Amino acid sequence: MGLVQNILAVIVVLGLLVTFHEFGHFWVARRCGVKVLRFSVGFGKPLWSRVDRHGTEFAVAAIPLGGYVKMLDEREAPVAPEEQHRAFNRKSVWQRIAVVAAGPAANFLLAIVAYWALFVVGTSVVVPKVGAVAPESPAFEAGLREGDELTGVAGETVRSWEDVNLALVGQIGLDGELSLKARPEGASASRRYTLAVERYLVRQDPPKPLKTLGITPWQPAFPPVLGQVLDDEGAARAGLEAGDRIVAVDGEPVDDWMGFVEVVRQSPGRDLALRFERDGDTRETTLTPGKQTLSGDTRIGYIGAGVAPAEWPEEMRREVRFGPVAAVGRAVARTGEMTLLTLDSIRKMLVGLISPSNLSGPVTIAKISGDSARAGMDAFVGFLAYLSISLGVLNLLPIPVLDGGHLLYYVVELVRGRPVSERTQALGLRIGLAMVGTLMLMALYFDLMRLW
């Protein structure tokens, strides 16, 4: 069932993103007098199509991993003399820039609308209260203690753990001092703490912003009760079901969920004698955790099961909500922050501060789409907004075959006063295809490694 949900979720997410992106190209092309021959969501053989009164074919194709807008263009096929004024290549360079830039712009606009909706409806977030601080860690040495509430990271105000993590990820590669603000338990004002860090989060896979500083978020005690069990994983093969309460492992009592998780993580491929309760009856089974590689040769065990939700105290929840007007500014600001974070992450990956193994392809996107859909509408909409920003940023990279590559040609044309030669564009196309193809293969490889 989880696989089906993941597939459906990724089809919805990619379908929306691709439709908005291509509609941006389509809408501006029409306004510039360009004839659009086909608007396709997906690649390959059309599953459905229709032609409107302007002669544009709208199609939904079989492979839902992208889309395209095909415009009348003399470089691709002969154009009748009476139609030449509607050809894309006959338009001014500024009109061509507008048409090409409209796709990424539509993605940023979609993100703004999604964030606006979240801010207006309101989201419930967890107060960033420190649960524990590891001895001799940077946070401990700086003076942070259990019960402190984080209120600022590197000069940015934070209201939730999501804000904290985003701000910390933006500090990847920092050498020196990291500034945090926190309000000690029972205090009315925040204090400033300076943490000494060295090559913060450099090449961590995946990055662990809080653990690296020695901070563990506060959370309620989770009883060792299964909330969900994935098909064909260790827990399901052992006969476990949602609602089962773990009592003991290898004869040792289990009191909380994290204690059980720690035993599983330390036992990849090893048979565990499990005692559990179901409907008041105590039962026994053998549980064999699967093996998952984190980084290098480090392996941990996993069983494909999650914990049942626990009740969070009311004082640990915070409602983030804005009025319709104020939400516009917040949505634009959040989109800008995420855009800059994405660009900075690309830069740091190119200079070696972030490991390329953090690249994600269609498999990871499908998994996160499914997880966010199961987590609730606010998580799903937030992920949709972030992915839309990522698509917009990636398409603006100056790589031939991407929108950014075409924009680069047009900027050169503005400077030189004449178009880039077709020979140069053809060479750029081959280079761009090689670069994008290599990037896609790398992302797919890392996707498969995460699965294994």
DSSP letter for 226, please.
E
> Is residue 347 within 8 Å of residue 356, measured between CB atoms?
no
Residue 109, phi then psi, degrees to nearest 5: -65, -40
d(CA 369, CA 371): 6
How many angstroms from the chain centroid is the CA of residue 17? Answer: 13
What is the secondary structure of 71-110 as a DSSP string?
E--TTTS---GGGGGG-GGGS-HHHHHHHHHHHHHHHHHH
Residue with tokens 């549980």: 287
d(CA 219, CA 210): 14
Catalytic member of 22, 162, 233, 241: 22
Q: How many Cβ atoms from other residues are within 10 Å of residue 103's Cβ?
A: 25
DSSP letter for 54, please.
T
Q: Which two tokens stand for residue 435?
A: 């670069």
d(CA 415, CA 413): 5
Residue 136 annotated as catalytic: no
Specify which residues 69 forms β-bridges with. Answer: 39
d(CA 306, CA 230): 9
Q: Which amino acid is at 244?
A: D
Q: How many Cβ atoms from other residues are within 10 Å of residue 322's Cβ?
A: 16
> Annotated catalytic sites, by residue?
22
